[in-house]
Copies of this chain bind each other. A is one copy, B any other.
């Protein structure tokens, strides 16, 4: 370890000015990144206490237990924070599609950014 670290709690994370941290949900066994959403301290507590991942919906301004209506729940396997405590990685077991569009991941491979360089192979034959 490069430096000693103390364990962070739901209360000691570094929330933004809206009281939120970004959360990356990753399927625990395949490594697939499923989605990015937000939690406040209460959502972190609910997630840890229930084992069901619960976000704060910025658009609806309410707690959102993932899959509460769709059935596509996220069972929590492990919740980690990053080095500066302002982002979380939720290792989850996702039932069904994580994305409201019906794709497994919100970062479906079809959703590439279009722009300069995007069409160029990363490594390929010199031209």
Q: Are A3 and B116 in contact (CB under 8 A)?
A: no
Contact residues in B for A89 (Cβ distance below 8 Å): 33, 107
Chain B residues with CB below 8 A from A81, complex form: 107, 111-113
A61 lies within 8 A of chain B by Cβ: no
Q: CB-CB < 8 A to A76: which residues of B?
A: 117, 122
Chain A 74-99: CB-based contact to B (< 8 A → 1; otherwise 0) = 01111111111001110000000001
A126 at the binding interface (Cβ < 8 Å): no
Chain A binding surface, main DSSP class: loop
CA distance A44 to B113 in the complex (A): 9
Query: Which residue of B has the minimal Cβ distance to A8?
Result: B113
Query: CA of A114 to CA of B5 in the docked complex: distance in angstroms?
Result: 13
- Across the interface, A117 reaches (CB within 8 A) one of B35, B49, B118, namely B49
Instruction: Convert A48-85 into 0s and 1s, putting 1 for each residue whose CB lies closer than 8 angstroms to a CB of B.
Output: 11110000000000000000000000011111111110
List B contacts of A10 (CB < 8 A).
113, 115
> Is the beta-carbon distance between A78 and B112 smaller than 8 angstroms?
yes
Chain A interface residues (CB < 8 Å from chain B): 1-3, 5, 7-10, 13, 22, 24, 26, 30-33, 35-36, 44-45, 48-51, 75-84, 87-89, 99-103, 106-118, 120, 122
